Structure formats: C-alpha cells, structure tokens
Amino acid sequence: RAAAGRALGNLGNSHYLLGHFTQAILFHKQRLAIAKEFGDTAAQRRAYSNLGNAHIFLGRFDLSAEFYKKTLQLSRQLKDPLVEAQSCYSLGNTYSLLQEYEKAIEYHLKHLTIAQELGDRVGEGRACWSLENAYISLGNHERALHFAEKHLEISQEIGDPN
C-alpha cells in the first residue's frame, strides 16, 4: 500500500506534466488519502503542493490557496524552510491572481524574510519583483519604488540582465 501511494503520486505528476490537470488531481487526492492513512506528513505535504499547483491551471485559485496553506502548515511542522519559502511564494502569487493584494504582500514579505535568512539572492530578487508589482496594484508607488530598487540591485548582482 505504501508503494501504491508512491505510484499514485508519480501518476499524478506524469499527468500534470502532460497538462492533464483534472487527471493529476484525481491521482494526487488518492495519494493524499494513503499518506494520511500512514501518517506520512512529508508525503501529505507533497500531495498538497501538487494539488495547489494543478488547481492553478484549472483557474481554481481559491482551492489552490487552501492547498498551499496546508503545504505551508506542514512545512513548518517538518521544519523545512526551503519548502516554507516556496509555499509563501506560491501563496503570494495565488493571492495576486485572486486580486487580493494585501494578502499577496503578506506572503511575499514572509518569502522575502526566509530568502534573506537562507542567503537566497535569486529568491530575494523574485520576492522584491513580486512586492514591487503588488504595491503598484495597490497604488502605493513609494513602496513599489523601494522594492524595484532592491530588485534592480539584486538582478545586477546575480547577473540577470532580463
């Protein structure tokens, strides 16, 4: 049954990469059920993350946000700051898609803090870019400029001319 769980997860990922998002969700939900049965929190975390990603491409941003919140909660439980940062970044982008910019900013700021703690300059640059855009959407140009300047500085440092 543990192997069946892994196979279901792999099937979910294969369908996802083929762009079969509804099929992917069916497999990841079954994978999640087996992970819960075994009390396997790492596998539950992966399933929630995969479910969040698949729902984005079906335009169900509300459901993605719920799955990403579960991912975030489990990443903290598992003390995995890399996944915690990724979950915050996903939540920030999802709330931008939902046009809930205050919430987007809340999560992008959390992502920024973790990226700084981890010394992840690429992540920090992406957080600044996202914050710059979210503040523009809110009409807060002063904060947008602050993050645009940081984004420029980091892009030059890491050699990203784009």
Partner 1 sequence: VQRMHLIQMDSVQRWMEDLKFMTDCE
CA 53 to chain centre: 8
Minimum distance of partner 1 from residue 157's CB (angstroms) = 18
Whole-angstrom distance, CA of residue 44 vs CA of residue 31: 8
Selected from 65, 129, 150, 154, the binder of partner 1 by CB under 8 A is 129
Minimum distance of partner 1 from residue 22's CB (angstroms) = 16
Minimum distance of partner 1 from residue 16's CB (angstroms) = 6
Asked whether 136 and 152 are in contact (CB, 8 A), the reply is no
Asked whether 124 and 116 are in contact (CB, 8 A), the reply is yes
Q: Which residue has the tokens 């898609």?
A: 97
- Closest to partner 1 by CB, 19 vs 79, is 19
Whole-angstrom distance, CA of residue 109 vs CA of residue 57: 25
Residue 6 near partner 1 by CB under 8 A: yes
- Give the footprint of partner 1 on this chain (CB under 8 A): 6, 9-10, 13, 16-17, 19, 43, 45-46, 49-50, 53, 56-57, 89-90, 93, 96-97, 126, 129-130, 132-134, 136-137
